Chains A and B, each alone.
Chain A
Amino acid sequence: MIFLENVHFAYDGLYTALRGVSLQIDEGELIAIVGSNGAGKTTLVKHLNGLLRPDLGRVILDGVDTKHNSVAELAREIGLVMQNPDHQLFLDSVEREVLFGLENLGYSKVEAKERCERTLNNLGLEGLSERSPFTLSGGERKRVALASVLATEPRVLSLDEPTIGQDARQKENLAKMLGELNKKGKAVIVVTHDIEFVIENFPRTVAMADGRIVADGPTNSVLSNNEVLERCSLTRPQLTEAARCLHNVFPEVPERLTLIDDLEAVVVKILGGG
């Protein structure tokens, strides 16, 4: 659906952020983008909706180069939720905040209202619709910012660091919600450092370093690859660490393992098998 073709980009023409990135995103995919700070992850997602334009290369949506489309046009198809919710909230009630984006994109009052209600219900924000976003907690503000983008029902939703400042329960809820969106055929892309969140919820992982994609494939294999972890400033997940240690003693344990159910099964086999 979206295809980035050999995209190069430098800020002010000086600070190179992307050095030839090619990436294909299909309908209904769940993709995580990982990498150290300054690897170009945020720069990459800003290319999807035209906030940044490639110096070289193309961004193709449904087979058409997007260079002539405005950000507002692309925003109907591709939603982007930025890291800091305070960068977008400015109205005095949660409801108006959500309606604002819908009206910008040209939805009728009736339809906007309906979509707004639906989204607030989905995110558990219905009780807060009259509240001012500024009186809400950080986690709640983050959900309002998400709601304001989600209400426009874009085909692709990209989120920059959605898990920062969220506790385990909130992360679970976020994951559940993204999963439901995905079931409706939407593509979801997150930029994150949170590998546990990636392992549990995203089948595909794109790893970036120095403006390049260094690995792109099934999360399991990307995040159990030592070289990738090293280059992307990631730490080895505990389960992979355990699997590696066990592998040294029990060769039947696969060295690369990321999912808790798999490790549990392996350990039970070792202990139960006697």
Chain B
Amino acid sequence: MPLIEFADFSFKYLGADSLALRKVDLNIEEGEYVVLTGPSGCGKTTLCRAINGLVPQFHRGYIAGNVIVDGKNTREHNVAELAPIAGLVFQQPENQLVTLNVEREIAFGPENLGVERKEIRRRVEELIDMLDLEHLREKHPHEMSGGEQQRVAMAATLALKPKVLVADEPTSNLDPQSAVTILDLIADLNRRDMTVVLVEHRLDLVSKDASRVVLMDKGSIVADGEPREVLSMDLCQEIGVGIPKATQIYKRLKQRGFNLDKVPLTGAELATLVQEVKQR
């Protein structure tokens, strides 16, 4: 049974003119690293919200089809019940830090769910250690950089021990190096068997770690598969998704009749592939 199952799911926000999601069918298995991308307004954020029940429980609207997460239908369970299954990280780190120090922030989720005190303390210490937050322990959100805030927000979400981490453009307000730190952390979590759904525009930074890329446009899924396969489709340019430069070069070379052995996703990969062809 897949961990997340969208079955013919459609959603329209209250007061909106058009569907935010139309007839989405999507299965995500445990351990996958899914990168979700598409032009602005394509429904990525709504899809994330549907995974933990924010849609339709918090954001009301018209709904058709079902979303089943770890065997639970999101129509029938409230967001709090789904919180230990799907943890969401959002775009604005500021708005996710609701207390005045890091320890309390991490404890906030488990406290809400009534986890035992000793266990909360254990999780807080574990996450402070794992995400390297020791130096921030007593700090006020205002005393942290955006990247640090986002790391704390991740810890606060992970404290609920979710089975899937859903991150909706967690790096779009960060400088490139902080972004890389967050993305590396996400990749690392995935290597430790965490299922990941990540919405991201910077495909040049994430596609090398992803196991799957899902492309959305106008509320529907228009492509779904291996990163190398999806990113080399002409469809990407047609709907306005920026693919990695290395992949662009691959496509240009192909037009000129030079075939590389596989689709490169990073600069180093491109260099190696060119070298291999040359040596032949």
Contact = CB atoms under 8 A, between A and B. Distances in A.
B57 interface: no
A167 B165 CA distance: 23
Given A242-B268, A264-B249, A167 B40 contact: yes
B172 A260 contact: no
A169 B41 CA distance: 12
Contacts of A74: none
A168 B240 contact: yes
Contacts, number: 120
A238 B204 contact: yes
Given A167-B240, A264-B253, A268-B253, A235 B176 contact: yes
Given A37-B145, A238-B204, A169 B240 contact: yes
Nearest to A138: B40
B241 A168 contact: yes
Given A139-B40, A170-B40, A263 B268 contact: no
Given A240-B267, A246-B274, A271-B253, A233 B176 contact: yes
A53 interface: no
A185 interface: no
Given A238-B267, A271-B277, A167 B39 contact: yes
Interface in A144-196: 164-172, 193, 195-196
A interface, how many residues as a size bin?
35 or more
Contact of A196 (B245, B246, B252, B270): B245
A270 interface: yes
A219 to B, nearest CB: 15
Residues of B in contact with A, size category: 35 or more
A271 B276 CA distance: 10
Interface string A191-211: 001011000000000000000
B252 A245 contact: no
A270 B278 CA distance: 7
Interface in A194-252: 195-196, 233-246, 249-250
Interface string A249-270: 1100000000010011001101
B266 A241 contact: yes
B268 A271 contact: no
B240 A260 contact: no
A102 B172 CA distance: 32
Contact of B246 (A235, A242, A270): A242
Contact of B249 (A195, A234, A242): A242
B180 interface: yes
A246 B40 CA distance: 35
A124 interface: no
B24 to A, nearest CB: 19
Given A164-B172, A167-B201, A271-B253, A239 B177 contact: no
Given A169-B240, A242-B267, A267-B253, A234 B176 contact: yes
A36 interface: yes
Contacts of A237: 245, 267
B151 to A, nearest CB: 14
Contacts of B253: 264, 267-268, 271
Residue of B177, B246, B253, B275 with most chain A CB atoms under a 10 A cut-off: B177
A234 B172 contact: no
Contact of B40 (A166, A234, A263): A166
A36 B175 CA distance: 6
B78 interface: no
Given A167-B39, A245-B268, A249-B275, A37 B172 contact: no
A72 B168 CA distance: 39
A137 interface: yes
Contacts of A139: 40-41
Contacts of B174: 37, 193
Interface in A8-66: 36-38
Contacts of A235: 176-177, 179-180, 205
B177 A233 contact: yes
B246 A167 contact: no
Given A38-B145, A139-B40, A264-B253, A242 B270 contact: yes
Contacts of A270: 274, 278
7 contacts: A36-B177, A37-B175, A170-B40, A243-B267, A245-B271, A249-B271, A270-B278
Query: Shortest 10 CB-CB distances between A and B: which pairs?
Result: A241-B267, A169-B240, A245-B271, A168-B242, A242-B267, A233-B177, A238-B267, A235-B176, A167-B39, A238-B245
Interface of A: 36-38, 137-139, 164-172, 193, 195-196, 233-246, 249-250, 260, 263-264, 267-268, 270-272
Given A193-B174, A264-B253, 8 more contacts: A37-B146, A193-B176, A233-B177, A238-B266, A239-B267, A243-B267, A244-B271, A260-B245
